[in-house]
Structures are given as structure tokens and as C-alpha cells.
Chain A
Amino acid sequence: MANHTHAAPAPVGGRLLNATTLVAGVLVALMATLLLVRFIFGLGSVTNLNDGYPWGIWVVVDVIIGSAFACGGFSVAMLVYIFNRGEYHPLVRPALLASLFGYTLAGAGVIFDLGRWWNVWNMFWPGSVNLNSVMFEVAICITAYIIVMWIEFSPTFLEQMGREDTKRKLSRVMFFVIALGTVLPMMHQSSLGTLLVVLGVQIHPLWRTPLEPLLYLLTAVTMGYAVVLFESCVASSAYRRKIEMHLLTPLSKIMLGFLVAYLVVRFGDILVRGALGSAFAPSLEALMFWLETACFAAPLVLIGREADRRNPAKLFLAGILLMLGGALLRINGFLIGYETGDGFSYFPALPELLVTIGMFALEVLGYIIITRRFPVLPREA
């Protein structure tokens, strides 16, 4: 393999206080206030959760979609370290940082949603755990992965703190940490799909399949690359940096490979199960299915040709579409295609939405602070 020489990561620098961080800060403060209300008065005081819809956007968006958006670190690390594509190395740290925030907040988001959060230690207590539960597998794996990711990312902090010898010691075992960091997300991202299986007949046929784990894994990887495209474009424009097209163009081709694999499995499964008919029924579910499918299919047209993949605007748009498609797959499975009987409906309450928005604001805020003060993004030539 050719020896790739990259610019070393370096802090971007600049002021931490600006319009973006100020807005993000206000949104985070708002979230904190609403969470205080939630913990004092109960889940019903700030959410529209009800007996028919026990899970709302805090579970589906903050945790299930949030963690899938946070698969950039895993997808890129797999490419670089497992498939030995060292040329993508400059993308690892920024992607990992976004993942670190996505997952840490998804983990925190779970606590906000737990109705009896003080009992959460039972999740790790041998006398309590239920090895048959998909939720148990998800919880253990996500917790482990958050810890693994902080270790994976720690060289960034160690470099800045001048702890080179600690960093060197850590680097001797880093290969194992990285390996763990690819296996754990494969496990829980697939299991997030398996969560739907036990809901059985309550799930609309278009999203009710034993192949759920494979669908969720393939889309998580695809979304991981999509997020990297999105995040690289946003970081370049916000920090007025050169866009890394020499990396993003070939990366997007790999992403399309996973996308095609997903679409083959998705439609193969629907056809084999004979569920395609319900996609043509005049229903909200069918409409949402086609919207979801359109988001997945459009990038094939948009950046199917090599020339189009050299166009940053098209890559950016394709990235957004795939993030949206993956998000819709999850919203459709867990909320739109979830039928619990007559008389129940769910749409998130304003405070509920503000908490979710606050979570994303916290991610943006953290990303800005860390990239400005710690060596994450490659130094500009």
C-alpha cells in the first residue's frame, strides 16, 4: 500500500462565542429546564406519550436515529483500519468526534426517557438481566461502545495535554480497541432493528420482517458515510476550509455500494414476504414507505455517475437524502407503521420536540468547542 501522507490534525482555533454557539447554548439551557420539569412531574408533563404510543421521539429520534447518525466513526474506522484504506485517515477523527457525541447523548437520552431510571443498575446486575431481551443486548452494547469510543478518541485529548507517553502506551493496544469499536456497533445497530420483531403483528407488513437486523445494520453503515459527507461539507463551509473532495468522491462510491446492497435486501424481502401489495394501498403507511424509498433511491440517480460524485453540492444533497431515508425507515417502523388499536395517536409535544432539538444543539456545541480547541480536523495547508 502506498504510504499516505496527511496533514496532522490541529485545533481550528478562533472564538468559542459566536452566533451559532450562542443559539445552541440557549437551546441546551431550554432543554435542561424542560428535563427538570420531566424529572419532577413525570413523563406525561412534557411529552405526548400515551397508552397506545409508549415510545415517542426521545426513543425513536434521540436514541435509535441519533445513534445511527453517529455511525460515521464506525463506518470510517472500519474502512481505514479493517479494509486498510489509509487514505481516508484524515476523516477518522472528525467522524469519531461526531459519533462520540451522538452516542453519548443517545445514552443520556435513554435515561431521560426511562420511567424508573433509578433502577437502571439492574441492566448490569447479573441477577436481573434477561439474556432473551433484545433491549438488554442493545443497552449493554451501546454502553460498552460509548466507553470504547472515548478510549478511541482519547489520543486527541492526550496530544493536546502533552501526554505523549500515555498516548504511546495506549497506541500499543489501540488495534484491539478499534476492533471492538467495529464489532459493538454492528451488534447493537442490528439489534435496534430486532427490537421491532417482538412487537409482531402490531407492525405494518412493510416493516415487519425477521431480516430487520440486517436492514438496520446496512442502513446504519450507509448513514454513517452519509453523515461524513454532510459533516465534511458543513465543517468546510463553516470553518472556510478546503473541501476534502479527493476523499469524499471515492467514499461516496463505497456508500453507494452499501446502499445498493440494502435496496436489494429490502425489496427482495418485501417481495418474498408478499408485502408489496400493501405499498399500493391508499394509506399513510404506503405514502411514508414511498417517501422513505425515494430518499434511498434518489442518491443513485443524483451521484450515480463519477462526474456527479465530484460535485460537492450533489454529495451534500445525497448525504442528506440518505440520512433522511434511514431516519424514515426507523420512524416508519417504530411510529407510523406501529398500530396499537383504535383511539390512540401520537405527535410530539412542543417541550418534547425542544428536548430533542436541545440534544442536537448540544452535539453541535460540543463539536464546535472540541474542534476549535483540540486537534481533530486536518491542519490546513
Chain B
Amino acid sequence: MANRRDFLRGVLAGGAALTAGVATDPACARETRQRPPEALGLLYDATLCVGCKACVAACKEANGNPPVFSTEDQLWDTPLDTNGYTFNLIKMYRNGTMDTKDQEVNGYSFMKVSCMHCADPSCVSACPVSAMTKDPETGIVGYNPDKCIGCRYCVAACPFGIPKYQYDDPTGRIGKCELCRHRYKDGHYSACAEVCPTGATLYGKTSDLLAEAKRRLAMKPGQVNRFPRGKIGGPDQSYEMPAGTYLQHVYGEKEYGGTQVLKLSGVNFQKVGMPDLPPESAAALSETIQHTLYSNLLMPFAVLGAMTFAAKRNVKADEGETANDSERKEG
């Protein structure tokens, strides 16, 4: 019976160790990360967007991506969603008679879909081989195909559905917006913002973009205001325009610890396809669990020690037994 008691004790001890490990230990808690001070990003203002899709075409060109077709004649680039070859897309929300722009009922709205460059990205936390990384200064979430093993954990992890894999290619890559970081050395910035005729997509430091977003939220609807175009802090390309009717919410200010791409809209963000996210990132929770269980490998080594001790005691007797068995077999 001693043996049965040992067994139960073992089960209980193991269970207790696990529960203790899984229950959040503040020492190992990994806080949700915030944007770096010099973070770069975009501000997309749906009320300024006219749906011309110049940004979609410019993105394709800047990234050397082929057109993707969804129509029979295959004449124009017509992707229905972002994919391995489409890193930026303007989607449309429509309701009822579609009379009024930026109105939820009987209205319509546009929404830009591209990488949000999260302060605490799930894809970077997920990637086992550091192919997806966040630049410590610019905060740009970049991708390195030479490290990528194509496991697509980043694709699964992203709450915005951004990293996408090229399934049609035996050497397919992950495709996603990298904020045109490859164009900076030539004095360029994000192609989508460069070509945007209305300044609906604006490039700049996220801190500046956030201030600009707050300025717009304070505007009286219909009142004429100046709106910058291209790049905040670049040459003045601003123009005058009556302010739209905004929801008092800068999407990306707080979501998952904040994103470097910010969005303004007149229509509910969930209605135009942006997920409702808590201020704590999933990456922080995932890493808190991992680091609690594996901090300095203390727990695995403790369990291994206990297991080795038990096995050392029990395997000896067992080996004698199998030795007898072998003799019997040979005899």
C-alpha cells in the first residue's frame, strides 16, 4: 500500500508544482510593451479617404508585387483581401442605401488594411527563429526571409490577419508591410502615404501622428481646417477641407499596448473590420506563461532532478528483473 500512497503523493506534488507555475508569478510577469519614443507609423483617416486605391497600386510597385486577380477578365489588380502579394488594401463598408459617407446606417466608409506595426507584436513573439523582428528604434516590424522557416505561426498569431504566406510558391515567403523601410535610404517614405492625394494616409513619427489625430478629434464637424499630406514634418503639402464626423476613438492608441499605425473613422471600428482588442497584448500573456514555467529553466531542472532521483531508485530493481528475463530468454 505504501506504493499506492507514493503514487498519489507524486500526482499531488506534480499537480501542485504545475498549478504554482501556471498561476501568474509577478516576478516573471512580462508587461505589455509600449511604442519606442521614435516609433514611425501611419495615420489613416477614413473620413479623408476617397477610395481611389492609389496607395494599393503604389504599394505593389514599391514592393515589386505582382497583381492578384479576382475577376474573370484578369485585367486589373483586384485582390479581395491582403495576401502574400498584397500588403496594403482599401476595403469598403456599405450599409443600406449608402447615401452618406462615414455613416454607419445607410452609409459607407473606406478602411485601409495593412500592418499596424504593434508596440507589442504577436508575430514577433510567435516567430521561433527571429525572422520577424521589431526594430528597437523605429519600431518597424520587419521580416527576414533568410531566417524564416515558413511555419506560419505569425500568420496565425496576428489579430489583424496581416502576415500572409505565398501558398502557390514552393519557396513561398511571408508577405507583409514593412513601412517601405527599404526606400528610406533614397529619401523616400511609405509609398502609400507618398501618393495619397487627400492625406488620408499620412506618414510620420507615431507621437506626431497621435497629436494630429487628437487635433482632428477636437475639430467641429463641417468646420474648415488644414490637413497635411504626405509626411508630417516634410514639405508643406497641406490643404483646406471641412472636418468629417469622427468617432472619439483613435484606433491603435491603446489596443494591445498601442500600434504605430493609427486610424480614425466615422463608422464603428468593428463594423469596418478592425478587431476589438484589450490594452494588454496577447504576446505579454504568452511570454508571461512561458517565462514563469521556464525562468532560468529552474522548474524543468527541478522536475528533472526529482524524476532522476525517482528513476535512479526504481530503474535499478527493474534492470535486475530484465536481466533475469534475458537469461531466461537465452536459456
Residues of A within 8 A of B (CB): 1, 3-10, 39-45, 47, 49-52, 54-55, 80-86, 89, 110, 113-117, 119-120, 122-123, 125, 128-130, 132-137, 139, 159, 164, 171, 174-176, 178-180, 182-183, 186-187, 190-191, 194-195, 197-202, 210-211, 213-214, 217, 257, 261, 338, 340-341, 343, 375, 379
Contacts and interface: CB of A to CB of B under 8 A. Distances in A.
Given A7-B325, A200-B285, A210-B24, 18 more contacts: A1-B317, A43-B165, A43-B172, A54-B156, A84-B7, A89-B321, A114-B150, A115-B151, A129-B128, A129-B130, A133-B127, A135-B153, A175-B312, A176-B312, A179-B307, A201-B159, A340-B161, A341-B273
A373 B282 CA distance: 50
Contacts of A40: 170
A115 B84 CA distance: 13
Interface in B65-96: 80-84
B283 A198 contact: yes
Contacts of A85: 3, 7
B290 A214 contact: no
A52 B160 CA distance: 11
Contacts of A139: 128
Contacts of B283: 132, 198
16 contacts: A1-B317, A8-B328, A45-B168, A49-B167, A51-B161, A51-B164, A82-B310, A123-B128, A135-B128, A137-B294, A198-B125, A198-B283, A199-B122, A201-B277, A202-B159, A211-B22
Nearest to A78: B307
Summarize A's interface: helix, strand, loop or mixed: helix
A175 B311 contact: yes
B122 A42 contact: no
Given A122-B149, A137-B294, A183-B307, A200 B161 contact: no
Contact of B125 (A8, A132, A214): A132
A125 B149 CA distance: 12
Which of B10, B19, B286, B329 is the most central at the interface, judged by chain A CB atoms within 10 Å of its CB?
B286
A10 B300 contact: no
Nearest to A89: B318
Interface residues of B, number: 85
Contacts of A182: 307, 311
Q: Which 8 A-B pairs have the closest CB atoms?
A: A115-B150, A200-B282, A44-B167, A116-B150, A8-B325, A54-B155, A54-B152, A136-B128
Given A6-B325, A42-B168, A80 B128 contact: no
A113 B156 CA distance: 14
Which of A42, A139, A375 is the most central at the interface, judged by chain B CB atoms within 10 Å of its CB?
A42
B326 interface: yes
A198 B126 contact: yes
Contacts of B303: 183, 186
Contacts of B223: none
B159 A86 contact: no
Contacts of A217: 18
Given A119-B146, A175-B312, A198-B282, A83 B6 contact: yes
A213 to B, nearest CB: 6
A125 B147 CA distance: 10
B326 A190 contact: no
A137 B290 contact: yes
Contacts of A84: 3, 6-7, 310, 313-314
Contact of A55 (B128, B152, B290): B152
B140 to A, nearest CB: 17
Interface string B164-188: 1111111111000000000000000
Contact of A86 (B11, B18, B81, B321): B321
A183 B122 CA distance: 28
A201 B276 contact: yes
Contact of B15 (A137, A175, A202, A261): A261
A5 to B, nearest CB: 8
A43 B283 CA distance: 28
Given A55-B152, A135-B151, A201-B275, A1 B3 contact: yes
A85 to B, nearest CB: 7
